[in-house]
Amino acid sequence: MKIVKTVNEVREIVGEWRKHGLSVGFVPTMGYLHEGHESLIKSAVTQNDKVVVSVFVNPMQFGENEDFNSYPRDIERDSEICEKAGVDFIFNPEVSEIYGKHFSSFVNMNTLPDGLCGKSRPIHFKGVCTVVSKLFNIVCPDRAYFGQKDAQQLAIIKRMVSDLNFDIEIIGCPIIRESDGLAKSSRNTYLNAEERKAAVVLSRSLGVGRELIENGENDAKKIISAIRNEIEKEKLAKIDYIEIVDMNMLQPVNEIKESVLVAMAVYIGKTRLIDNFIFNQIE
Ligand code: AMP
C-alpha cells in the first residue's frame, strides 16, 4: 500500500477514482494507530469504495509546551495496519507540504472551542479546524470519520462542515476502550506501569456519574462532585476539568433535562488524558 507525500499526487489518485464514480471515505489521524483508529477505518472501508487515511502530526494544534516533538510516530507500523484494514493509501505529508513558507490563512470558530479542552488548549481547535479544512480540500472525500473519544472535536467539525458548506458527511464513531475501560489513545504510551493502572480512574469515575444520572439524579453539580470525589481517590490523578454540557453548543448545564455530554481531562502524572460519555435522555 502506497504512502503518498504530496498534495498533487493525492489529487491525481482521487481524481482518477472520481472519474470512475467511486466513493471516497477519509480518516484523518496523527498516526501511531491503535484499535480506536482501526474502528474508524473499518467503518470507512465498509461504507466507501476507496479509503484514504492521513497521518499528520499537525504542529498548529499543539501549544508551545505541549508534546508535538515527543508525540509517538511509527509510519511503518501504521502502514501495515492500514494495508491489512484495506486502506487504499496513506497521505503522510511533511509539515512543509501542508504549511508553505507564507502560510497565513486560518479557520477559526466562536463559542464551541472555548470550553472543555479549549480552556487549557486555547489554540488547539484553530489548528484542528485549519488542518481538517485543508485535508478536506485536498482529499475531497464523500464521508469523513471522527471518534467520539474527541467529542468536542467531533462537535466542532460537524459545525464547521455545516457552517462552511463542505459537501462531506461527518460520521461519528464510538469510543474504543482497553479491557479495563481506559479509552485507547496514542498518548497511553507515555504512561509507566503505575500510571497505566491509575489511568483507569477516568472511565471508572465516569461510570459513577453515569450511574447517578441513570438513577434519576439531574443536578449537574452533584454529579460532577461525585465524579471529582472518585478521581481524587487516585493520588496520581490531577483534574484539568470535569464538565456536563449540552450536545449542541457545548455549554455547561445545571440540570440534566436533555441529552448531555459528560466530559473530562485528567492528568495522570504528566500525561493529559480525556474521556467522556453521552447521556441521551431518550435512551
Ligand atoms: P488522533 O490520531 O488522536 O488525532 O485521532 C484520530 C481520530 O481517531 C480522531 O477522530 C479520534 O477521535 C479517533 N480516536 C482516537 N482514539 C479513539 C478511540 N479510543 N476510540 C474511537 N476513536 C478514537
Write the residue with the smallest CA distance to atom 6 of ligand 1. 29
Amino acid at 21: G
154 & 42 share domain: yes
CB 138 within 8 A of CB 110: no
128 & 251 share domain: no
Active site residues: 37
* Mean residue pLDDT across the chain: 97
- Cα→Cα distances 93→15, 56, 123, 132, 169, Å: 18, 7, 22, 14, 24
164 & 251 share domain: no
Please give the distance, rounded to the nearest whole angstrom, from the Cα atom of residue 61 to the centre of ligand 1.
15
Work out the pLDDT band at 283, boundaries 50, 70, 90.
Answer: very low
Q: Which residues' Cβ are closer than 6 Å to ligand 1?
A: 29-30, 36-37, 39-40, 146-147, 149-150, 173, 175-176, 183-186
The CATH number covering residue 43 comes to 3.40.50.620
Residues contacting 118, CB < 8 A, separation 6+: 112, 124, 125, 152
Strand arrangement, sheet containing 271-279: 237-246, 260-268, 271-279
Whether the full predicted model's pTM is greater than 0.85, yes or no, is: yes
Concatenating the DSSP letter of every residue in 228-242 gives HHHHHTSTTEEEEEE
Write the residue with the smallest CA distance to atom 12 of ligand 1. 147
* Ligand 1 atom nearest residue 27's Cα: 7
3 state DSSP class of 94:
coil
* Ligand 1 atom nearest residue 175's Cα: 20
Please give the residue range of the domain that contains residue 54: 2-173
Average pLDDT of the residues in 123-144: 98
- Which of 123, 146, 173 is where one domain is finished? 173
Based on C-alpha coordinates, what's the Rg of the chain? 19
Average pLDDT of the residues in 81-91: 98
Mutate to test the pocket of ligand 1, among 60, 150, 153, 175 (most ligand atoms within 8 A of CB): 150
Q: Which residues pair with 68 in a beta bridge?
A: none
Please give the distance, rounded to the nearest whole angstrom, from the Cα atom of residue 216 to the centre of ligand 1.
31
Q: Examine residue 195 and state whether it is found in any structural domain, yes or no.
A: yes
Provide the pLDDT for residue 275: 98
Mutate to test the pocket of ligand 1, among 34, 42, 149 (most ligand atoms within 8 A of CB): 149
Task: Tell me which residue has cell 474508524.
Answer: 40
Q: Is the pLDDT of residue 207 over 50?
A: yes
State the cell numbers at 220: 449537574
Q: Cα–Cα distance between 183 and 242 in angstroms, integer?
A: 16
Provide the pLDDT for residue 148: 98
Task: Tell me which residue has cell 455549554.
Answer: 251
Total domains present in the chain: 2
Q: Could you read off the pLDDT of 135-161 as tens digits, one per residue?
A: 999 999 999 999 999 999 999 999 999
The CATH number covering residue 206 comes to 3.30.1300.10
